Structure 1
Amino acid sequence: MIRPVFDDPNVVSDAGLVPVLRLAESAGLHDLLDDQLGVASANATVKATSVVAGMLAGADSIDDLDVLRHGGMPRLFSGTRAPSTLGTFLRSFTHGHVQQLDAIGGDLLAGLTGRVPGLIAGGEAADGFACIDVDDTIGEVHGYAKQAAAYGYSGVRGLNIQLASISTPLAAPVIARARLRKGSTASAKGAGRLLAQAIGTARAAGVTGQILCRADSAYYGWAFVGTAIRKRAWFSVTARMTKTVTAAITSIDPGAWKAIEYPNAMWEEAEQRWVSDAEVAEVPFVAFTARRKSQQVRCRLIVRRVKRLQPLASDGIEQGELFATYRHHAFITNSGFAMVEADRRHREHAIVEQVIAELKDNALAHLPSGKYTANAAWVSCAMIAFNLARAAAVAAGLAKARWASLRRKIIHVAARIASTSRRLDLHLPTHWPWAQSWQTLHAVATGPPPTSTT
């Protein structure tokens, strides 16, 4: 027989918060909050850190932040606050305070890359390469108490979340900037400013190599492309099927199409070529010809075409090549990649969907307040928590672990607190499968900063 008794004041269920929050402190989070956050609330640094810590432990609502107040947690972290206090704190934010918190998140990323150099691996070298992906999503809400909620492009009532992520071929994405907007806001609104801030954040975080800015057709416009050009970055943006784009595709010579080496493509020895339903071609292009001449962009139009599934004829036989049609996917770019490589890099823009999925599976499963600015502050805290989780995973030697995996392997491990000679000892489970990763993270978080190699 098992008899549960909730009576141990020295047990904690989220011992992994100890090294993760120590990593945040050593990367400068507390100093940034002290210096830059001007919200009119006592102990704002402690409260903001509490919100981030709750998110790291899996909180997706204000009530869930109570996970920080159990067992021996007050002995590990001083200043934890009740959910009602944290809710009042979030509701005290103004638009300006939210912008301050967003900037703090960007500055913290630079501190995290200093503590965990592999966070943006591959972008720090002069010949390195990094991608900035911009996208937005709708956070669905229910009821009519949410300020600024509206029906957007998805037909779902909610609030619009726009973000920019940074990734490299060697490193998983982190978030450079994230902001909450009215539900009916057009995707591309504010894209130029967001991209400029994201590029600045990437440079501050140590990206010295070439930056490629990617986006889907919602961002096909001068605001996004012009910002990339001004910041000396490459762009790769899905083109809308306008008359000029369609005409350019039509002008492509039939012999210019080249088969893509897709995973399921087959090499035909007789013809010495890859046989695939996907092919690419490119043509010189001038984008935004309706704008003044200084804003018309000479670039490359790269087109990928995929053969449509052929319907059967009335006699059950597949129709011949005469009736073959294609789906065309075009994008504009000024990158120096070869055509096939440029197409592959552009398709990797889908990595930003991984970031959105992780956020919605964690802190952004809900937008918890009825007040718009409180929800905007919640989004900024979620960005900070996401980057902390990514940095902790890299530091723990679990670079490929997503946020949910980090919680399961590192954060959600129970421990018992014991006092020994004015020191607190955390007694963790024996044979914990990821004990070495936990200790590695703790060593990075509490040790001296790594020696700079520059």
Structure 2
Amino acid sequence: MGAFPAAKVMALVAGMAAGADSIADMDRLRHGAMDSLFGAVRAPSPLGTFLRAFTHGHVKQLHAVARRLLPQLAAHTPLLPGAATVAYLDIDDTVRRTHGYAKQGAGYGYSKVKGLNVLLAVLSTPLAAPVIPATRLRKGASGSVRGAASFVAEALRTAHACGASGLLLLREDSAFYAGEVIAACRALGARFSVSARMNASIRKAIAGIAEDAWTAIRYPKALWDEEGRCWVSDAEIAEVREYTAFTSKPKKQQVTVRLLVRRVKRVNPEGQVQGQGELFSGYRYHCAFTDSPLSLVDAEKDHRRHAVVEQVIADLKSGPLAHLPSGDFQANAAWLALAAITHNLMRALGTLASTFHAKATTGTLRDQLIRVPTRITRGARRLTLRLPVNWPWREAWSQVFAVLHAPPHP
């Protein structure tokens, strides 16, 4: 690993916070008067050598650092308000495109795009922007569910350490509809809401739902019909109160809970795949397998909010995860872990600045709180940072500066 690994890790995190998305971009830490304010900043070349020296064990140590850091951030900043009442853990993966032939582990996965597979856990509350409790880099040809059970267990333990002591709901798409994933969730006392794949058993369950059991749900652009006293919407929901999944597995691995069903009218019912029964000719069906204690409407609405994980993925791809910068697999795995650490630090920074910045994207935080157009003056052996006159975010930045430089609590 070489000398001074802590300084190199901090330099990488600082570079990512400043907008670096490659090893060469780390040079932005040394331009202008940066060396007057910060010490121990490393050049891109030794930082690249440092990353390439990572082994699988070193990456695991970095994951352990990330798992310890997030609960500390939650304890010292209002990072996850309301976590003691309700919290959500969303799991998803994405394929990060790679180019050339020198990337270790690159392959073609479910997206038919050559790249590496990034598995991501996102923790949020109704009042808080999402943070990242766990990450894992996998080969590009890996299936979504590969290793997901142990990953879910790791993320849930971190969520508990962050203060998620109330209702903790695990939300996933159908790629993670697997008995071992749900078993790992239940073993750690969490609830789950997982999209279910359409199969013969689920079609049979849907066919058993009475027509008067369907309830129209309100979408943002739904219309209220005064005459009919109902919402005019193409979407309706119903539930099967007891549905048993994984019936092909031993009895102890089978799970019997609720099946939430949402149906949406098909735009072109004539353009169907032939062979479907009449029940499925006019609607598309989406199912969620859940043990949520909430009502039908609230449980279905909560499940659709799983899309928050896509926002985090987009946020990372517009920042440090724009590239996986090395040809070495473990170097890229370390880069991913550092990107998650940077994301969580910036989220904590936003909560200290203002209510607006608490939920702003990391790109906004970078532009308004980190890339600060200050002028440095010297006098009496002291450095003074002078902010621009009438700078819009002066108050938020000053608030962060005051909190971070206040005397520590006894």
- TM tier, smaller: over 0.9
Alignment match of 1:54 (pick from 15, 18, 30): 15
Matched, 1:445 2:404: yes
Partner of 2:275: none
- Measured against aligned partners, the alpha-carbon deviations of 1:263-296 in whole angstroms (never above 9, x if no partner) come to 2222333333222110000002001111111110
Structure 1 regions of 5+ residues with no counterpart? 1-39, 314-320
The answer (yes or no) to whether the contact 1:310–1:324 under 8 Å persists in 2 is no
1:75-86 mapped onto 2 (5 Å cutoff) = 75-86=36-47
- Report deviation, 1:432: 1.0
SS of residue in 1 equivalent to 2:145: coil
The answer (yes or no) to whether the contact 1:307–1:324 under 8 Å persists in 2 is no
Partner of 1:336: 293
Higher relative contact order (CA 8 A, sep 6+): 1
The answer (yes or no) to whether the contact 2:269–2:281 under 8 Å persists in 1 is no
C-alpha separation in 2, matches of 1:181 and 1:105: 18
Matched, 1:119 2:76: no
Matched, 1:129 2:89: no
Structure 2 regions of 5+ residues with no counterpart? 272-277
1:38-437 mapped onto 2 (5 Å cutoff) = 40-116=1-77, 118-124=78-84, 128-283=85-240, 284-310=242-268, 325-397=282-354, 398-437=357-396
- Report deviation, 1:105: 1.1
SS of residue in 2 equivalent to 1:208: coil
Structure 1 runs, 4 residues or longer, greater than 6 Å off:
321-324
C-alpha separation in 2, matches of 1:228 and 1:450: 37
378 and 271 in structure 1: CA distance in 2 versus 1, 3 angstrom threshold: same
C-alpha separation in 2, matches of 1:41 and 1:342: 51
- Report deviation, 1:47: 0.1
- Measured against aligned partners, the alpha-carbon deviations of 1:43-85 in whole angstroms (never above 9, x if no partner) come to 0000000001000000000000000012221222111111000
- Measured against aligned partners, the alpha-carbon deviations of 1:75-115 in whole angstroms (never above 9, x if no partner) come to 22111111000000000100011011112112111111122
C-alpha separation in 1, matches of 2:35 and 2:365: 23
C-alpha separation in 1, matches of 2:292 and 2:285: 20
282 and 448 in structure 1: CA distance in 2 versus 1, 3 angstrom threshold: farther
Paired AA for residue 159 in structure 1: L
C-alpha separation in 2, matches of 1:427 and 1:272: 61
Give the root-mean-square deviation of aligned CA atoms. 1.8
Higher mean alpha-carbon deviation, 268-277 vs 176-185, is at 268-277
- Report deviation, 1:204: 1.2
C-alpha separation in 2, matches of 1:362 and 1:395: 21
C-alpha separation in 2, matches of 1:448 and 1:211: 35
- Measured against aligned partners, the alpha-carbon deviations of 1:283-324 in whole angstroms (never above 9, x if no partner) come to 0200111111111001000000001114699xxxxxxx9996
Paired AA for residue 349 in structure 1: H
Partner of 2:274: none
The answer (yes or no) to whether the contact 2:269–2:282 under 8 Å persists in 1 is no
C-alpha separation in 1, matches of 2:407 and 2:150: 36
SS of residue in 1 equivalent to 2:95: strand
- Measured against aligned partners, the alpha-carbon deviations of 1:135-185 in whole angstroms (never above 9, x if no partner) come to 000110000000000011100000000010100111110000011110001
The answer (yes or no) to whether the contact 1:165–1:352 under 8 Å persists in 2 is yes
Paired AA for residue 386 in structure 2: H
C-alpha separation in 2, matches of 1:411 and 1:114: 23
Paired AA for residue 253 in structure 2: Q
Paired AA for residue 331 in structure 1: A
Identity %: 51
SS of residue in 1 equivalent to 2:185: helix
C-alpha separation in 2, matches of 1:157 and 1:230: 35
C-alpha separation in 2, matches of 1:448 and 1:181: 43
C-alpha separation in 1, matches of 2:103 and 2:279: 55
C-alpha separation in 1, matches of 2:184 and 2:400: 38
The answer (yes or no) to whether the contact 1:115–1:444 under 8 Å persists in 2 is no
SS of residue in 2 equivalent to 1:211: strand
The answer (yes or no) to whether the contact 2:59–2:334 under 8 Å persists in 1 is yes
C-alpha separation in 2, matches of 1:305 and 1:449: 55
- Report deviation, 1:446: 1.9
C-alpha separation in 2, matches of 1:312 and 1:108: 55
C-alpha separation in 2, matches of 1:409 and 1:224: 40
The answer (yes or no) to whether the contact 1:396–1:438 under 8 Å persists in 2 is yes
